[in-house]
Amino acid sequence: MSQEIDVHTLKARLDAKEDFKFVDVREEHEYEEYNLGAELIPLGSIPERLDDFGDKESDIVLHCRSGARSGNAQRYLESQGFTNVTNVTGGVLAWKELIA
């Protein structure tokens, strides 16, 4: 079962400086326009960048514009054996609306 968090929970985790791998799966031009400080690994490049995600038990939090692409990335990583992957529901759109 896939894990999800909302932007309020994400902000709390960031504010608490929790140790997790925070990844933005949008494209570079989207990232340059507005980003939350996550590492940029565009969805299409994930298969060749699996090593960038650390070990299979790493705490990974993914986000995108709305939560759809990061959901796809989450399912892909889980299919590759990653066991602790979380998707941010609503993505940047929710962050801009509720947090920023």
Q: Which residues pair with 4 in a beta bridge?
A: 87
99 is catalytic: no
Among the listed residues 64, 88, 92, 94, the single catalytic one is: 64
Report H helices in the chain: 7-15, 28-33, 68-79, 91-98
Separation between Cα atoms, residue 26 and residue 29, nearest integer Å: 8
Residues involved in catalysis = 64
